[in-house]
Structure 1
Amino acid sequence: MQTRTAVSEFLGTLLLVFFAVGAAVLCVEYIGTVGIALAFGFVLLALAYALGPISGCHLNPAVTLGMLTARRIDVRTAVTYWIAQFLGGIAGAALLFLLAKQVPGLKTSGKFGSNGYGSRSDVHINLGGAFLAEIVLTFLLVFVVLAVTHKVAVVGFDGLPIGISLAVIHLVGIPLTGTSVNPARSLGPALFAGGAALSQLWLFIVAPLVGGLLAALAHRLTHPSMRGGEATAEATAEV
């Protein structure tokens, strides 16, 4: 079962990066910011139903950290998910890079769907503003995931608010930082963009993890009915 969940997280993160970041890299002049935001939301929504019953469809180290803090998964599962997510993000970016190289005149260095602040932000947000934005944006995503899921898996209509929230997050976040809220999504494109994308990458790993942790702590206060021990037992049975 551990292998199935790891493969699910790897494949899901790969597809999220390839299609959603791909919308930004390949199609921005045709679909604009709104189209990119919807691409992220719709891809996550579809994957939530496809992979949610297997691994919970985290596809995001910040979500996994939130689940770990909420005691729905154990440390071993969290580490397995993190490894699969980062590898999936890199693989998805590599596949996207290969496709982008087949498009004459398309520039892949510098930006390539990566995140940034200062001169790399559409509104030139500073470092502190970018850090705050990523914390708050990630907080919303992880809080919604924890609130609408009772165990680990995404079932029923759970995927709908998760996908909608990610789309809204991107509508707000794209002009600010390009929207990370997902360290695995940020790592892959940054590796292929190089330069400043790599030097600023630390923020888009640290800030989303802080946001995910704060969301899990807030969820404990707003949804106290799920006891830690019960959640751990249910998560273990699910995984």
Structure 2
Amino acid sequence: MAELKKWSFYRAVIAEFIATLLFLYVTIATVIGHKRLNGANPCDGVGILGIAWAFGGMIFVLVYCTAGISGGHINPAVTFGLFLARKVSLIRAVAYIISQCLGAICGVGLVKAFMNKHYYNSLGGGANEVASGYNKGTALGAEIIGTFVLVYTVFSATDPKRSARDSHVPVLAPLPIGFAVFMVHLATIPITGTGINPARSFGAAVIYNQDKAWDDQWIFWVGPFIGALIAALYHQFVLRAGAVKALGSFRSNPTN
């Protein structure tokens, strides 16, 4: 609770809000613009590859800009994973997730305000939904694996041991994180439109506000949080040998 008395805490929360707002504005506008042009001429628009670059590129830019202020989470699943690894306090994690969701809503709201409403509504508002031909189980699995890849990359790119050994690692950290987002989008856009970020899915669903988007919404919260949980456990207890350390501590203090 002492964090609530520090300006650095509120500065970080504001940074997460603005970063998520910008992230959703650029990426959702790209998604809707692609669908509009693709409907007129399949050869027009940025295509799925361009959408993936938009998401990955924005994450790269925004993580680079905010890493020194808030850690550059821009994703409740990343915040949840770092909280499980005890890298973020509970009060900061909750504040980040709230600010990320509010930023996402505002970002998508700007897209709707600036874009032709007919195109926005008829082209799905950039909301995440399970694509036809796929069931909810498949979509959930895709979200779990996709988020695992992202959060695992975040842990690896920001590992303090690597930072101490290789001075260039902190500077390059945004690059693999953004590239992970890019690769996951290529794999999962045809299945779910790619969530791996509950704030992204929630903000788009709030502004679009259609039954299908809300019916599938749980997938884009449960899947990313499970993926983040698995990534945190894998990093802490397998890669960092947390389980071995805990077992060794127990053996040295059997009365505990």
Query: Equivalent residue of 1:54, what SS?
Result: coil
**Partner residue in 1 for 2:253:** none
Could you say which residue in structure 2 is the equivalent of 1:162? Answer: 177
Deviations 1:151-193 (A, max 9, x none): 6x99310000000010000000100100000000001111122
Find 2:223's aligned residue among 198, 201, 207: 207
Higher relative contact order (CA closer than 8 Å, sequence separation 6+): 1
- The DSSP-based 3-state class of the residue aligned with 1:181 is coil
Alignment of 1:129-168 (within 5 A): 129-150=138-159, 155-168=170-183
| Pair 1:192-2:207 in alignment | yes
In the alignment, which residue of structure 2 is the partner of 1:31? 46
* Percent of matched pairs sharing the same residue: 37
Give structure 1 regions of 4+ aligned residues with deviation exceeding 3 angstroms.
225-228
Could you tell me which residue of structure 1 aligns to residue 129 of structure 2? 116
1:102-142: per-residue Cα shift (whole Å, max 9, x none)?
Answer: 6xx5142572111111xxx1x52101000111000000000
Q: Which residue of 1 aligns with 2:4?
A: none
- Distance, in Å, in 2 between the alignment partners of 1:149 and 1:222 is 17
Give 1:116's aligned amino acid.
E
What is the aligned partner in structure 2 of residue 171 from structure 1? 186
Normalised by the size of structure 2, how large is the TM-score? Answer: 0.81
Q: 1:107 to 1:12 in 2, by over 3 A?
A: closer
Residue 119 of structure 2 aligns to a residue whose secondary structure is coil
Larger Rg: 2
Letter aligned with residue 66 of structure 2: L
Cα contact 1:48–1:159 (8 A) shared by 2: yes
Q: Does 1:89 align with 2:96?
A: no
Partner SS for 2:126: coil
Distance 1:4 1:210 in 2: 29
Deviations 1:35-83 (A, max 9, x none): 0000000000011111111001101000000000111111011011011
SS at structure 2 position matched to 1:27 = helix
User: SS of the residue aligned with 2:172?
Assistant: coil
Q: Which amino acid aligns with 2:234?
A: A
Question: Matched residues in 2 for 1:142 and 1:111: separation?
Answer: 28
Preserved CA contact (<8 Å) 1:65 1:212: yes
Number of aligned positions between the proteins:
221
> d(CA) in 1 for partners of 2:26 and 2:120?
18
Match of 1:101 in 2: 116
Among residues 2, 6, 24, which one is paired with 2:9 in the alignment? 2
In the alignment, which of 31, 36, 42 is matched to residue 57 of structure 2? Answer: 42
For residue 95 of structure 2, give the secondary structure of its aligned residue in structure 1. Answer: helix
1:77 to 86, 92, 108: 92
Query: What root-mean-square deviation, in Å, do the aligned CA atoms of Structure 1 and Structure 2 show?
Result: 2.0
Tell me, yes or no, if the aligned pair for 2:80 and 2:228 is still in contact at 8 Å: yes
